[in-house]
Amino acid sequence: MLPRSKLARSRLLFLKINRAEKHIEDLELASQAFIKSRPYDIRPEINPDTHERSYHLVDAREIPDEIVSICGDAIHNLRSALDHLAYQLVLVSGNIPDKRTCFPIADSAEEYTSPSFRRKIKGMRQDVINAIDAVHPYKGGNDLLWRLNQLDIIDKHRLLLAIESIHTAYSATPSERDEIFKIWSRSHPGEPLPNIDGILVTPKNIRILHAGDILRTIPESEVEQNMKFQLDIAFNEPPIIDTKSIVTTLHEMKKLVAKIIIEFSSILD
């Protein structure tokens, strides 16, 4: 194995991404274990007047601090990888980074182009700056990158991110399955119908859940045994990001950061 001083710069940057990936894997396992522990108490109630059944979230345990902490660690490693990239981009430009050097992610396009903000990329060659500009690292340009930056700021200053449960799917009723069959038949004429027993459908509005919420209400004629409800763990940081799965979002952020570093690898190495 080559000494680190001989390794390609982009490979060194991927050490941070690989660490973030390990955190995301741990986060996924911890989230699955929490959900499998049945932390939610869902009970049906029948309305004799309307002949409907409502499914109430009677109780829900708090998301464990371990999950929130792992999430913050993954975010910080991804953001750090970008800052290390900025540091290396100054070096390959033949200059010395200073304490303001970092990968620029702004709250708006106007802030991004302001002279004070551009100090973050001082010392980089113009072709390097042009390449960073092409990433559009600001709100309204690359929102996923902006969210990564904002979540990292929150995690550094407030200790724990706000993470809550969301309701992502429930068992399809007989009438919903009939509609799925109709749509399938129109788009796949002559093909055999697939087996969709136990299929889940997504609610129209995904929201942060609280004890006492009604997950769904259906006519008694639509009720079947073993009605299932699928829940997930999501960010609850409006207006930055909310009702988005933490695991899915972090996978998307990891892919984005890796893509940026790969695009700069020809400049670095």
Is 3 inside a domain boundary?
no
CA 232 to chain centre: 12
Q: Please check whether residue 71 is in contact with residue 27, taking contact to mean a CB–CB distance below 8 angstroms.
A: yes
Residues in contact with 11: Cβ distance below 8 Å, sequence separation at least 6, in sequence order: none
Is 1 inside a domain boundary?
no
Is 75 inside a domain boundary?
yes
Count other C-beta atoms under 10 Å from residue 227's C-beta.
17
Beta bridge pairs of residue 165 = 233
- ∠ at Cα 173 (249, 204), nearest 5°? 40
Is 2 inside a domain boundary?
no
Residue range 169-205, pLDDT digits in tens: 999 999 999 999 999 999 999 898 888 888 999 998 9
* Confidence label for 3 from pLDDT (cuts 50, 70 and 90): very low
How many domains does the chain contain in total? 1
Residue range 15-56, pLDDT digits in tens: 999 999 999 999 999 999 999 999 999 999 999 999 999 999
Q: Which domain holds residue 250?
A: 8-268
Provide the pLDDT for residue 266.
87
Provide the pLDDT for residue 262.
92
Give me the residue label for tokens 């093909």: 191
Is 54 inside a domain boundary?
yes
